[in-house]
Amino acid sequence: MRAIYLIARREYLSYVATWGFWLSLLSVPLFMLVGGGLPALIEGSQPTRHYVMIDETGDGYAEALRDAFAQRSRDDALEALRAAAEPLGREDQLPAAEAALNAEPGLEGLPEAVEALGLPASSVSIDGSSRFIEVDPPARDAETLRPYLLGEQTIMTEEGEQPLFAAIIIRNDANSPVGITVDYWSASLTDTALRNRVQDRLSDILRERRLAEAGVPRDLLNEINAIDVDARELNPERTGEAAAVSTAERIPFVVGVAMAFILWTIIFSVVNMLLTAMIEERGNKVLEVLLASARFHEILIGKLMGVAAVSATLLLFWGGLGMLGLVGVQTLLGAAELPVADIIGAVLDPGLLLPAFGYFIIGYLMYGAVFLAIGSLCDTLQEAQTLMSPIMLVMFIPLFVVMAAIESPDSTVVQVVSWIPIWTPFVMIARIPSDPPLWEMLATTGLMVGFAIVVIALAGAVFRQGALGRANADSVKKMLNFGKKKSA
């Protein structure tokens, strides 16, 4: 036991006693924070696009489009206000926020509306439609507008001289089923947001006009357009008001899938640590020194325990940082109704946490023993990569299954994959919040444990042969008929 402890302690300290380990610990949440904020940063840094709109039909399509754009921006603002209010339980403050928004033209009342919800002004944003600004056309035909669209000439705006992003020309077309055609001129071939907005809003305008021409009263048309069915989600296991499904009830499903990804990431990381460390020790003759003072199984168990302690450090650090982050968000928003308690409760739920711990241990031992065995056979990382390739492919498959389990945790594919021992640790943890049958959990876990015992025993035998120098990567290739030479 002392030899196992000393080997495990050495493995653990060889990682955690270095600056690189702690820098990598901090870099993961930092990259996650940057990655989470990057889409908003990219959206916020989009340049303002200036366009002109010319209506050659004389039927008021341009003016109708302007009104539709303004109304759509206000609708988007209202949706953003609702999205910000609902998770915080502030739906009762929405009427005041809506009144503040409607009190000013356009979106000028948005800051007051956000303030009515008791939130910072930066906490509510709408889509990028406001980055498109219409300007007076410097010309009325496409040919004269061409130099402006190509950047050879600029237009005067409130921001100074700017290039013209697009020209929208609406003209009559007797060959078109709707009687008009829209020519969208722009040098940008990738940014199609403005074109899509024009196409969608103009289609709505034409439908409304056709209905009005058919004798549908305007009030009735507005009433029809305002129809929006509210589908309440109810749980048949409960009755009355308690049957309503809340956001807090969905949190365990999200946490289950997140934990499956976290377990996969940690197992993938630590088994690679085992592999690289074993190859280095084999090349530096450290393994020979260990063999002179400890038995094979003590070396194997000690290394597995040492790196398992490293993974526990990762989990505790990232878990604690995540909890502090949730509390920090709640404090910054000043939102007592933020479901931080529900999230923490879902993470610390023994019905999810204990199985996750068990699946992690079994999965780690299973994959860790295999990677240690591979490391004992190889003198270089290049040799190890040849043997690792099929195992890596096998490890990536459960990621796709877990993604499918987000919406259909009880689908046939997910259930079948749950019975494959090498994927059971990841898939079952994602399924636990959906309450799979107890017999299925026990059966899949038992099968996984039995398979893990066989894998660890075989990996231990390979490790013994590799450590003694009786086997190497070429031995495996020959066994799999990869090393056969062509007969003369």
Q: How many residues does the chain have?
A: 488
38-55 pLDDT, tens digit each: 766 666 667 788 999 999
How many other C-beta atoms are found inside a 10 Å radius of the C-beta of residue 354?
Answer: 10
Task: Check residue 62 and give its pLDDT.
Answer: 92
3-state SS class at 59 = coil
Label residue 272 by pLDDT band (50, 70, 90). Answer: confident
What's the whole-number mean pLDDT along residues 217-243? 74
What's the whole-number mean pLDDT along residues 278-288? 75
Nearest in space to 369 (alpha carbons), one of 417, 305, 287: 305
Do 126 and 80 form a contact (C-beta atoms < 8 A)? Answer: yes
Task: Check residue 488 and give its pLDDT.
Answer: 42
> Which tokens belong to 206?
């034409």
What's the whole-number mean pLDDT along residues 202-231? 83
Whole-number mean pLDDT of the chain? Answer: 79
Report domain extents, the chain. 2-33+246-479, 48-225
Task: Check residue 331 and give its pLDDT.
Answer: 63
Q: Any idea which of 106-110, 239-243, 298-302, 424-428 has the lowest mean pLDDT?
A: 239-243
HEC states along 393-459?
HHHHHHHHHHHHHCCCCCCHHHHHHHCCCCCHHHHHHHHHHHCCCHHHHHHHHHHHHHHHHHHHHHH
Task: Check residue 474 and give its pLDDT.
Answer: 62
% residues pLDDT > 90 (the chain): 12
Helix %, strand %, coil % for the chain, to 5? 70, 5, 25
104-122 pLDDT, tens digit each: 776 777 778 887 877 766 5
- In angstroms, the CA 67 to CA 93 distance is 28
**Token pair 């498959």: residue:** 397
b/e burial code for range 414-430 (CB count within 10 A of at least 16 → b): bbebbebbbbbbbbbbb
Q: What is the DSSP string of 157-210?
A: ETTEEE---EEEEEEE-TTSTTSEEEEEEES-SS--HHHHHHHHHHHHHHHHHH
- In angstroms, the CA 262 to CA 253 distance is 14
Higher pLDDT, 189 or 468: 189
Task: Give one word for 422, left, alpha or beta, with left for phi > 0 and alpha for psi -120 to 50.
Answer: alpha
Res 487 pLDDT > 50: no
**Token pair 């075989």: residue:** 458
Task: Check residue 52 and give its pLDDT.
Answer: 94
Task: Check residue 169 and give its pLDDT.
Answer: 94
What's the whole-number mean pLDDT along residues 390-407? 83
Higher pLDDT, 468 or 422: 422
Q: What is the pTM of this model?
A: 0.62
310-344 pLDDT, tens digit each: 888 887 887 777 777 766 666 655 544 556 666 66
What's the whole-number mean pLDDT along residues 92-113? 78
